[in-house]
Amino acid sequence: MKVVTWNVNSLTARYARVTEWITANAPDVVLLQETKMTDAKFPTAGFAELGYESAHYGQGQWNGVAVLSRVGLEDVSRGFGDEDPEARLIGATCGGVRVYSCYVPNGRALDNDHYAYKLRWLAALAALLAERTQPTIAGGDFNVTPTDLDCYDPAAFVGATHVSAPERAALAAIEATGLVDITRRLHPEETIYSWWDYRNGAFHRGWGLRIDLLYLDESLAARASASYVDRNARKGEKPSDHAPVVVEID
């Protein structure tokens, strides 16, 4: 089973890139973030032509998450079942695996209300995942670097979001439920990034962060044969600022 997570930064703007990538790479399950569209605009029929069932949780201008699957798609859940006003979480069961597409709040700044929302949101996700009863994958844009190895310039990020101790503790709480950051487990020392700012030629200068993560429970992690970022998807015409992150499970 091949599973990919990709923050596409508008599925409207990225539709051609996304369908080309899916056609070329034949993933079984696709977790999308930042579709930035309503459910009515989601291209269900287009993905069906490629052989994928899909489920979308959108709100319009911002956020929006989706699951695509060619191995079945059942028991869709949207959000946490509380009053979260933003469309940032969708779950489904695909081929016997419970998958979640997660778009963690950015946080904006350590003293911003959005940062407190980010920490609450991550705690709610950890609580949800701790209750899992099936093989589970939680993938998405977590907007947190797990360690300094995942940041191109840790000194420049002191005092910023994406690197702070509370954010990293929130990821550690997810891992403490028995979930594994599979890309890092399979590449313990390697510099790997999944996002590069559009500004300043960041991609070509190697100024990236690894914030797009795939958390697998141990039963799946033990069977994972590969996990990698497709940096080629960050090149060319109209790329997302995020690249797809893949895991292959035997």
Distance from chain centroid for Cα 107: 16
Residue among 57, 115, 141, 241 flagged as catalytic: 141
Stretch that binds DNA, among 18-26, 54-62, 70-78, 93-101 (CB under 7 A): 54-62
Per CB under 7 A, 36 contacts DNA? yes
Neighbouring-strand partners of residue 246: 4, 228
Contact string (CB under 7 A) for DNA, positions 211-250, x = contact: ---------------------------x------------
Give the one residue of 23, 147, 191, 200 binding DNA; rule: CB under 7 A: 200
Nearer to DNA, 14 or 78 (CB): 14
75 Cβ neighbours under 8 A, 6+ residues apart: 91, 92, 93
Active site (annotated) includes residue 103 = yes
* Residue from 80, 67, 76, 78 nearest 28 by CA: 67
Angle of helix 113-130 versus helix 165-175 axis, rounded to 10: 10
Per CB under 7 A, 15 contacts DNA? no
Per CB under 7 A, 207 contacts DNA? yes
What is the chain's length?
250
Nearer to DNA, 160 or 169 (CB): 160
* Distance in Å, CB of 99 to DNA, minimum: 22
2 Cβ neighbours under 8 A, 6+ residues apart: 25, 26, 27, 28, 29, 246, 247, 248, 249
Residue among 57, 100, 103, 193 flagged as catalytic: 103
Stretch that binds DNA, among 9-17, 23-31, 66-74, 222-230 (CB under 7 A): 9-17
Give the one residue of 19, 44, 53, 60 binding DNA; rule: CB under 7 A: 60
Note whether 72 and 93 are within 8 A (CB). Answer: yes
Stretch that binds DNA, among 19-27, 50-58, 151-159, 180-188 (CB under 7 A): 151-159
* Distance in Å, CB of 161 to DNA, minimum: 10
Note whether 231 and 220 are within 8 A (CB). Answer: no
Per CB under 7 A, 12 contacts DNA? yes
Active site (annotated) includes residue 141 = yes
* Distance in Å, CB of 90 to DNA, minimum: 17
Active site residues: 103, 141
List contacts with DNA (CB under 7 A): 9-10, 12-14, 36, 60-62, 105-106, 108, 114, 152-153, 156, 197-202, 207, 238
